[in-house]
């Protein structure tokens, strides 16, 4: 858990909590998932997911959402989010196109 890393002094100010990095890595591979879908696929609670999404949309804007026709918003990894994962070696490999 990220609080353990903070207590040991190994969490840098630019590192994100574990839950947020899990969502960032998931969004790097997912196609327009909703918050409930993110919670289900990552194993996080809806409350953890909502809190992480709120944090990740704030500066520097690692993710963004889009609502279509009043439906639940779909979430996306921003360019800054891609950079964050790449700089830490956390960007998952690209899946091949059929």
| Per-residue pLDDT tens digits for 15-25 | 789 999 999 99
pLDDT of residue 3: 55
The structural domain count of the chain equals 1
- What does the alpha-carbon distance between residue 26 and residue 38 come to, in Å, rounded to a whole number? 8
Question: Which residue segment(s) compose the domain that 57 sits in?
Answer: 2-87
Rg (CA), the chain: 14
Assess contact for 20 and 70: CB atoms under 8 A.
no
Mean pLDDT of 55-66: 94
Percent of the chain with pLDDT over 70: 82
- What does the alpha-carbon distance between residue 19 and residue 12 come to, in Å, rounded to a whole number? 16
Output the pTM of the full model: 0.79
Q: Within a domain: residue 94?
A: no
DSSP summary character for residue 45:
-
- What does the alpha-carbon distance between residue 4 and residue 1 come to, in Å, rounded to a whole number? 6
Q: Within a domain: residue 39?
A: yes
Indicate the SS3 state at residue 8: helix
Q: What is the mean pLDDT of the chain?
A: 86
Q: Within a domain: residue 92?
A: no
């Amino acid at each position: 858990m990220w609080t353990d890393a903070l207590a040991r002094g190994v969490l840098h100010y630019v590192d994100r909590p574990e839950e947020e990095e899990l969502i960032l890595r998931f969004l790097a591979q997912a196609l327009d998932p909703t918050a409930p879908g993110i919670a289900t696929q990552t194993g996080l609670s809806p409350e953890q997911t909502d809190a992480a999404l709120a944090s990740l949309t704030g500066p520097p804007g690692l993710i963004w959402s889009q609502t279509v026709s009043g439906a639940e918003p779909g979430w996306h990894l921003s360019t800054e989010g891609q950079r964050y994962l790449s700089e830490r070696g956390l960007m998952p490999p690209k899946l091949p196109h059929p």
